Amino acid sequence: MIPNVFVSLPALPITPNGKVDRRVLPAPDIKSLIQTLEFVAPQTPTEELVASIWKKVLGVEQASVNDNFFELGGHSLLATQVVSQLNSSLGLHLPLSKLFELPTVGSLSSYIDATLWTSENIENINTSDEREEFEL
C-alpha cells in the first residue's frame, strides 16, 4: 500500500477543529508526473500494440516502454480489459497474473514475444515431425 504520488505542501490545511481538511487538499497532478519522466517510444510491433491498448484503456496520451501500468492509473478491472484485448489481438491465452508480474510495456512485450516465438517453434517442430512420419 505505497502511494503512487506524493504531493509537497508547505503546511497541511487545518479545519477549525484542528483536523486535516481533506476537502482542501490538492489532487495530485498525475499527467505532469508522467510528462516529467523520460519518454521511451515503443520499438517493436508488440511494444506498439501493448502501448496502444494501454493508451486506449487508461485514457492517457502516451505510454512509454518503461511506464508501469498501475502507476498510470491502472487497476485490476482495467487489467482484465488489457489482457482480453491482447489475447484477442494476438491469439494468445495470456494469464491476467502476467500483467501484475510484468507491469511495464517493455517487460510485458518481451514476455509476449518470447511466448509467441516459443509457440511458433513448437508448431514448426510438430509440423516437421509429421512430415518425417509421412516420408518414412
Does 136 score more than 80 pLDDT?
A: no
What does the domain layout of the chain look like in residue ranges? Answer: 41-135
What lies within 8 Å, CB to CB, of 23 at 6+ separation is none
Helix (H) or strand (E) holding 101: helix 97-101
How many CA atoms lie within 13 Å of 61's alpha carbon, on the beta-carbon side? 6
The predicted structure's pLDDT at residue 125:
63
Q: Tell me the pTM.
A: 0.64
Q: Would you say residue 34 has pLDDT above 60?
A: no
Q: Check if CATH label 1.10.1200.10 holds for domain 41-135.
A: yes
Q: Give residue-wise pLDDT tens across range 53-105.
A: 999 999 988 888 998 999 888 999 999 999 999 999 998 889 999 999 999 99
- Buried-state track 15-44, b at ≥16 Cβ within 10 A, e below 16: eeeeeeeeeeeeeeeeeeebeeeeeeebee
| Gap between the Cα atoms of 94 and 80, Å rounded | 11
The length of the chain in residues reads 136
Residue 111 pLDDT > 80, yes or no? yes
Q: Please report the pLDDT score of residue 134 as a whole number.
A: 47
- Percent of the chain past pLDDT 70, that is, above it, reads 76
**pLDDT category of residue 9 using cuts at 50, 70 and 90:** confident
Secondary structure class of 20 (helix, strand, coil): strand
Rounded Cα distance between 122 and 92, Å, is 15
Q: What is the mean pLDDT of residues 95-123?
A: 88
